[in-house]
Amino acid sequence: MLEVCELNVSYGPVEAVRNVTLTARTGVITAILGANGAGKSSLLKAISGLVPARSGKVFMDGADITSVPTHKRARMGIAHALEGRRLFHNLTVEENLKVAWEFRPGVGSFEEASRRVYGNFQILGDRRDSPSRTLSGGQQQMLILSCAMIRNPKYLLLDEPSLGLAPIIVRQIFQFIGSVCRERGTTVLLVEQMASLALQVADYGYVLRRGKIVLKGTGKALLGMDLGRVLSSAYLGGDPVEGR
Amino acid sequence: MKKAAALFADSRFLLAFAVVIGAAAGFASLSALQLGSFLVINILLAQSINLLTGLAGQISLCHAAFFGIGAYGSAIFMRDLGLPLPATLAIGTLASAFFGYLLSFPSGRVREFYLAMMTLGFGMIFYEVAKEWTGLTGGVMGFSDIPSPELRNLDVFGFPVTSVWYFRLLLATLLVVLYLLRNFLQSHYGRAFYAVHVGEVAAGSMGISKAATKRRAYALSAAVAGLAGAFYAHLVGYLGPESFGLHKSVEALVMGVLGGLGSLVGPVLGAALLTYLPDRLQMFAEYQFMIYGAILMVSFIVMPRGLAGLLPGRTRFSKRPARAGKEEPPAVAPHRFTPSEARGEALLEVRDVSMSFSGLLALDGVSLSLPRNHVMALVGPNGSGKSTLVNVVSGIYRPTSGRVLLQGADITGWRDYAVARKGVIRTFQDPRNVPNFTVRENILLGAHHLYRHGQVAAALNIPSALREERVYLRKVEEVMEVTGLVTVADEIMRDLPYGYQRIAEVARAVVSDPDVILLDEPAAGLSDVELVRLDRLIRHLRARDIGIVLIEHHMDFLSDLVDDVTVLDDGKVIYRGGMEGMRSDSAVVAAYLGVEEVPHA
Amino acid sequence: MEFAIQLVFSGISVGSVYALIAMGMVLTFWTTRVINFGHGSLLMVGALLTVVLGAGRLGFYKAALIALGITAVLMVLAERAAVRPLVKLAGSMGWIVSTLGLGIFLQGFAAKFFGSQAVAFPSLLFTNDDTIPFLGIRLSAQYLSILGLSLLIMFAMELFLRRSAWGRAVRAVAHDPDLSSIVGIPGRRVVVLSFAASGLLAGAAGIMTAQISGTIDPAFGFNLMVLGFVATVIGGMGSSIGALTGGIFLGVLEKLVGGYVSTAAQHGIAFAVLMIVLAVRPQGLFGKEEITKI
């Protein structure tokens, strides 16, 4: 279980995350929604360690990891797929997978692991020696997900995996997230632009607005609300939304 | 200590002090005169490197070359061509300035460490040339018999120059140079040096051409170093290439760094220490390079402002204006409607602009038009192209296709400083101010492109220059009143809370007399009180016939303020209209929420 | 004709050493975005230590290996002292000045404790006169063996970068340090590794240069560093191929200019090339254009 307690993240004077407390229960897919500047990415980065917390704590399986450096958290089982389709563009597809595999502990050989990846996404296997920057957007996202999952992490943080991708690809990706993660029991924290899409696959959701949680509930419950009005005001302003 | 520092800061005291020293020179020993002369020459050299590296932020590892060009130049023209001292001093200065100017050209396009290597290379080239071009410089055997006070064969228009008078000449020259430098530093030219140092892109947004500023800095710095070198030649009477190698450049750098980069008094302190110590401490000479190396290694961590940082007071970056005389023109320029606007054309027009970065399309046929007295919000999800659009309009990027028009004039692809001078000013997501300027000096930077007086006028402090400074200082005062910054006018920017820094940057934009202001997320990080102030300021600007574009995510801040909103998604405009309409527009909602598989309840 | 071939051959050999210098500087740039202005002095230290240690019972070959080790350690210390504390500061002037200061300090140290006069460097690889016949021309054995060694070292470096996990880690950190830490790569250790490797390259390059020129003095490092830097400008900072091409190009150019124009011109040509390339194509022949984010 991943827990965040009264977390504050600031970039200089700009408070990105304000007193956020949330829980990502084991094996559950939790969605994090909100507009630009709502603090979603900063929240994920604080959990994986890329940005320091101004105050508050991060707990993984009950252990306080707030001051653990990023690469150690990665080795402890947190995988983070960054926003903006960040990859090692200077490395080939297979080298990206290797790098993602080599520095984290686990069982099995790289050959076995890569075979599984190529089984899930054949196109990656076909292009394994191509520089990853030559892949299309969708293919890159598949690679990113495969890199994140290659060591069967306990926790997967996904930052806007659908950004800029065609609907068909998005469907493929969410299918992967839904099936593989459930299969392996991975706990997923999913930050998504496509709120409705995210809520379809998520079991639980939080809505952030200007760094604070303003809404939370099960996926079904959130979907059942007047999504347009509720989320619209969270994103686009207008009537303030009551926290629950 | 404080009193002493305050005394020396007063120019009249300094003048009197110098006169006393000059008179006392008549009674000094030869070695004291020598040391004093070396000190003055080192002060000049330290000031020269401080100009380029401390103020303009262009690191120089070749000041020995500028020094040497001045030295050999003056020596050759006197010994071999018989020209008198004033002429050879001028030649040495100008020759060095020329090479500095040449070196400035590549500096425009490359990053600092390339520049540093380049200067290192230039210094080495000079050393090689001095060694090899035996016919001109005497090569390794050296260039001797230079007319000097020692040899008693130096004269100026028939009057023999003794060691005493050489020292007095040096002292007088130093005073003149310091006076001119101080005036220059306090002028908009000097402020521009610092602005380019601290942020080239921000400087461009104020109408400061970084290329022109760097050329000026290189030429001026080399000139002063050349002058110092010319004096050096006639002091020592003999020149050898080994005097102008890397160690001399390092010495100049250490003087600057140790004394304190970016101030007027720093170089004096650095020069004093590095002239005195080697003379006094024999041991110093043995370990000299090691000591210099160690100083350079730790100074930026331990004493970033050098010895000057230990002294009270700071270098002033604005002129003390002349007393108010006759009627002065109003500080605020009257509004100017152009014929094109009278015809109903927009103030700012973006026509079908596309921007692609190696295949990635950031903007796709974006069009918008902005009238005067209008606040337009520019919103959109992450990566929709808002900042790219602002960068295209403000001249940081040249669009792949499309046009940008200001008052009917095509400004597509104009450089950022040219766009700023034409009347489009922008601010940045993180406020880009000069951290060690006061609020007043920072805001005054906004007026840079309005100044008319030239460099010579600035250096000489002629009345029209002082008047112009006064006019713009008054303008800054007015803007500070409107923005509520008067109470912090003389505070150093880096000591102030974020909210002030943000508003100050907007105030700087206002002083520029813009037609269009582009504000990039100005509300981020502001407290509620500060938001109110920002809101008021923007309304004030709208009333002043300015067109404003506001990139924001803070929708509540925008709702009452803006006249309309343009929504971008994926580089395209998907909505233009009122805020209320935006909230229920299906395309906008889809962009933010994702329309894929919209559920049924 | 033979004259030209000899020039080109010696240029390739010397250029391969420039490539080693370039590669050393590029490695640390990759991991820290810092150009070590003290690199030149570490070249000098490698050569100097070989002479000093080799004069005793160790003999020069063992001394060379020990010198390489010490240079690698010194380079790691340089990162700790002159780079790490200064990359936190905004702008580059801080680390330019501090790495330069380190270089100056080492030069001063060498001058104080080992004398500033030129010291003879012994012939470890053949002598100046040994030649090997090749297609009718007598090529210098020394140049040939240096070329061979340099290529071997560059090849080993390539293998390391392409085939080993840590080499991949270096390339990963070069591209995106944050992403690297997210996949578990210990960033600090990679930086230290890159500096150690850079030190080895510097030591080797210094020893080989000293071998060619026959003498060393505390100041020769700076000149070489500038030449190595020019090689990176020509070849771009993105790859070892770039470093190799840039180095050889510069070496050959220098020798040709030196042979057909004058030695004075030879010293100046590198600088001229630097100015021209920076003015025309700042990213080098093989580099990619940098898009600065505003």
Domain with residue B576: its CATH number is 3.40.50.300
Q: Rounded to an integer, what distance in angstroms lies between the CA atom of residue B242 and that of residue B8?
A: 36
B295 contacts in chain C (CB < 8 Å) = 101
Q: Where are the alpha helices (H) located in C33-121, listed in sequence order? A: 39-54, 60-78, 84-87, 93-114
| Nearest neighbour of C185 by CB, restricted to A50, A86, A103 | A103
Question: Looking at the domain assignment, is residue B160 inside a domain?
Answer: yes
Helices (H), B133-209: 134-137, 163-186, 188-198, 200-205
Q: Is residue B34 part of a domain?
A: yes
- Helix B112-132 to helix B85-107 angle (10° resolution) is 140
Domain match, B559 and B447 both: no
By Cβ distance, the residue of C179, C186, C187 closest to A86 is C179
Q: How many CB pairs under 8 A join A and C?
A: 66
Query: How many angstroms separate the CA of residue B353 from the nearest CA in chain A?
Result: 20
Residue B465 to residue B480: CA distance in whole angstroms:
22
Does residue B154 belong to any structural domain of this protein? Answer: yes
C-beta atoms of A37 and B524 within 8 A? yes
Residue B25 sits in the same domain as residue B129: yes
Cα of C129 to nearest chain B Cα, Å: 28
Query: Chains that contact C by 3+ CB pairs under 8 Å?
Result: A, B
Strand order in the sheet with B564-569: B424-426, B516-520, B547-551, B374-379, B564-569, B572-577
| Distance separating alpha carbons of residues B210 and B417, to the nearest angstrom | 8
Q: Quick one: pLDDT band at residue B599, thresholds 50, 70, 90? A: very low
Strongest mean pLDDT among B134-148, B312-326, C108-122, C155-169: C155-169
The residue from B452, B486, B513 where one domain ends is B513
Residue B194 located in a structural domain: yes
pLDDT of residue A85: 87
Q: Which of B300, B254, B303, B248 is CA-nearest to residue C98?
A: B300
Q: Give chain C's end-to-end CA distance (angstroms, integer).
A: 53
Q: In which band, very low, low, confident or very high, does the pLDDT at B344 lie, cut at 50, 70 and 90?
A: low
Query: Å from B112 to nearest chain C CA?
Result: 7
d(CA C128, CA C122): 10
- Output Rg (C-alpha) for chain C, integer angstroms: 19
Choosing among A41, A82, A99, A145, which should be mutated to test the C contact, i.e. which has the most C CBs within 10 A?
A99
Residues B416 and B544 reside in one and the same domain: yes
Amino acid at residue number C79:
E
**Residue predicted with more confidence, C154 or B338:** C154
Q: Where is pLDDT greater, at B86 or C281? A: B86
Residue B424 CA to residue B434 CA, distance in Å, equals 20
> What is the enclosing helix (H) or strand (E) of A155?
strand A155-159
Burial of A185 (0-12, 13-18, 19+ CB in 10 A): exposed
Q: How far apart are the C-alpha atoms of B229 and B47, rounded to whole Å?
A: 13
Per residue in A141-184, pLDDT tens?
999 999 999 999 999 999 988 887 888 888 888 888 888 788 88
> Do B174 and B219 reside in the same domain of the chain?
yes
Residues 6+ apart with CB under 8 A from B279: B35
In chain C, positions 67-86, which contact chain B (CB-CB < 8 Å)? 81-82, 85-86
Question: Do residues B240 and B137 lie in contact, with contact meaning Cβ atoms separated by under 8 Å?
Answer: no
Q: Which residues 6+ apart lie within 8 Å of A244 measured at CB?
A: A215, A216, A217
B367 shares a domain with B449: no
Q: Are C157 and C23 in contact (CB under 8 A)?
A: yes
Report which secondary-structure segment, H or E, holds C161. Answer: helix C141-163
Q: Does B122 touch chain C (CB under 8 A)?
A: yes
Burial environment of residue B571 by CB neighbours within 10 A (0 to 12, 13 to 18, 19 or more): buried
CA atoms of B576 and B322, how far apart (whole Å)? 51
In this model, does residue C162 exceed pLDDT 60? yes
Task: Read off the pLDDT of residues B250-287 as tens digits, 9 standing for 90 and up.
Answer: 999 999 999 999 888 999 999 999 999 888 887 777 78
- The edge-to-edge listing of strands for the beta sheet with B360-370 is B360-370, B348-357, B401-406, B409-410
* Confidence at residue A227, expressed as pLDDT on a 0 to 100 scale: 56
Give the phi and the psi of residue C146 in degrees, each rounded to 5: -65, -40
Structure tokens belonging to residue B147: 């007319």
Q: DSSP of B79-135, one letter per residue?
A: HTT---HHHHHHHHHHHHHHHHHHHHHHHTTS-HHHHHHHHHHHHHHHHHHHHH-HH
Query: pLDDT tens digits for A23-67?
Result: 999 989 999 988 766 789 999 999 999 999 999 999 999 999 999
ipTM for this model: 0.92
Range of the domain at B358: 344-423+514-595
pLDDT at B427: 95
Query: Does B382 reach chain A within 8 Å, measured CB to CB?
Result: yes
- Are B52 and B162 in a shared domain? yes
Tell me which DSSP letter residue B25 carries.
Answer: G
Distance (Å) from the alpha carbon of A118 to chain B's nearest alpha carbon: 28
In this structure, the answer to whether residues B509 and B520 fall within a common structural domain is no
At residue C3 the predicted structure's pLDDT band, cuts being 50, 70 and 90, is confident
pLDDT digits (tens, 9 = 90+) for B34-67: 999 999 999 999 999 999 999 999 999 999 999 9
Among B384, B528, B555, the residue to mutate for chain A (most A Cβ within 10 A): B555
CATH of region C2-280, choose from 1.10.357, 1.10.3470, 1.10.3210, 1.20.120: 1.10.3470
Asked if B354 contacts B541 with a C-beta cutoff of 8 angstroms, the reply is no
Of chain A, the percentage scoring pLDDT greater than 90 comes to 58
C-alpha–C-alpha distance, residues B41 and B236, integer Å: 12
pLDDT at A231 over 70: no
Same domain, B226 and B358: no
- What's the confidence (pLDDT) of residue B597? 39
Q: Is residue B37 part of a domain?
A: yes
Of A72-81, B23-32, B592-601, the range with the lowest mean pLDDT is: B592-601
Whole-angstrom distance, CA of residue A119 vs CA of residue B153: 92
Does residue B552 form part of some domain? Answer: yes
Q: Could you say which of B445, B479, B513 is where a domain stops?
A: B513
> Between A49, A50, A74, which is nearest C183 by CB?
A74
Q: Look at B128 and C267 and tell me if their CB atoms are within 8 Å.
A: yes
How far C248 CA lies from chain B's nearest CA (Å)?
19
Q: What DSSP state is assigned to residue B307?
A: G
For B293, the closest of C108, C233, C279 (CB atoms) is: C108
Say if B7 is an interface residue toward chain C (CB within 8 Å): no
Residues in C 203-262 with any Cβ partner in A closer than 8 A: 238
pLDDT at B337: 54
Indicate which of C32, C77, C93 best probes the interface with B, i.e. most B CBs within 10 Å of its own CB.
C93
With residue A33 as reference, give the H or E element that holds it. Answer: strand A29-34
Same domain, B473 and B355: no
Residue from C168, C176, C183 to probe the interface with A (highest A Cβ count within 10 Å): C183
Sequence-distant (6+) residues with CB within 8 A of A194 are A162, A170, B593, B594, B596
Number of domains in chain B: 3
Chain C residue numbers touching B57 (CB-CB < 8 A): 91, 93
CB contact under 8 A, A224 and B524: no
Looking at the fold, whether B140 and B165 belong to one and the same domain comes out as yes
- Is B153 within the bounds of a domain? yes
CB contact under 8 Å between C278 and B109, yes or no, is yes
Whole-number pLDDT of residue C87:
92
- The pLDDT tens digits of the residues spanning C237-289 come to 888 889 999 999 999 999 999 999 888 788 888 888 888 887 777 766 666 55
Residue in chain A lying closest to B558 (CA)? A237
- Record: contact A104-C183, CB cut-off 8 A: yes
Residue written as tokens 């580089």? B571
Q: Is the dihedral of CA A141, A142, A145, A148 positive or negative?
A: negative
Least confident of B230-244, B315-329, B390-404: B315-329
Is the CB of C291 inside 8 Å of chain A's CB atoms? no
| Amino acid sitting at position C19 | A
State which of B66-75, B575-584, C3-12 shows the largest mean pLDDT. Answer: B66-75
How many residues are present in chain B? 601
Of B513, B541, B559, the last residue of a domain is B513
**Helix C187-213 vs helix C2-32: angle between axes, to the nearest 10 degrees?**
160
Using the Cβ of A227 and the Cβ atoms of chain B, whether some distance falls under 8 Å is answered with yes
Q: Name the residue among B117, B287, B300 with its Cβ closest to that of C97.
A: B300
Domain spans, chain C: 2-280
User: Looking at the complex, does the CB of residue A50 fall below 8 Å from at least one CB of chain C?
Assistant: yes
Do both B127 and B211 map to the same domain? yes
- Asked if the Cβ–Cβ distance from A71 to C179 is below 8 Å, we say no
Residue B213 has pLDDT above 70, yes or no: yes
Per the prediction, chain A carries an average pLDDT of: 88
Domain assignment present for B189 = yes
Give the separation between CA B128 and CA B137, rounded to whole angstroms: 11
Examine the domain organization and report whether B155 and B233 are in the same domain.
yes
Decide if A40 contacts A34 (C-beta within 8 A): yes
Which DSSP string do the residues of B205-257 spell out, in sequence order? Answer: HTT--HHHHHHHHHHHHHHHHHHHHHHHHHHHS-B-GGGGSHHHHHHHHHHHH
Q: Does A241 touch chain B (CB under 8 A)?
A: no
